[in-house]
Amino acid sequence: MLPIRWMPPESIMYRKFTTESDVWSFGVILWEIFTYGKQPWFQLANNEVIECITQGRVLERPRVCPKEIYDMMLGCWQREPQQRLNIKDIQKMLFTMMKAAPVYLDILG
C-alpha cells in the first residue's frame, strides 16, 4: 500500500520519489493541518484519488486557511516537479509569515 493521497503524479505513475515529491507531500500536510486532520480527498475512493491527481486537480482551500498558506500549498502542488517551491523558499516564506503581525482566525464561525 502506498500513501497515494499524499503523492504527486510522478510518484503515482512512475514510482519516482524526490525532494520535489516531498514538497508535494508537505503541501498536503499543510492542508491536513488547516482541516483539523481530515484525510485528503476523504470523500473519494483510492482509484478516484489517483484519477483526480493525475488529471491535475488539487485539494480545495480549507475554510480557515489564510490565502498566503493556500498559495504556498498551490506552489507545492505544481504538476511539473521543477516548478514546485523548494524547501528553502518554503522555509523563508514561513519565517516571514511568523514574523508578521498575527492574523486571528474565526474557528467557530
**Each residue of 14-40: pLDDT tens digit?**
999 999 999 999 999 999 999 999 999
Stated pTM of the model = 0.90
Residues 22, 29: Cα–Cα separation, whole Å: 10
The phi, psi pair for 19, rounded to 5°, reads -65, -30
- In this structure, what DSSP letter does residue 10 have? H
Q: Give domain 4-99's CATH number out of 3.90.1150.10, 1.10.510.10, 3.30.43.10, 3.30.450.70.
A: 1.10.510.10
Question: Side chain identity at 102, as an amino acid letter?
Answer: P
- In the predicted structure, residue 105 carries a pLDDT above the cut 90: no
Per-residue confidence band for 101, with pLDDT thresholds at 50, 70 and 90: confident
Cα 73 from chain centroid (whole Å): 4
- Give me the chain's average pLDDT, please: 94
CB 34 within 8 A of CB 64: yes
Residues of the chain above pLDDT 90, percent = 85
Q: What is the domain partition of the chain in residue ranges?
A: 4-99
So what's the pLDDT on residue 109? Answer: 60
Residues 3, 24: Cα–Cα separation, whole Å: 12
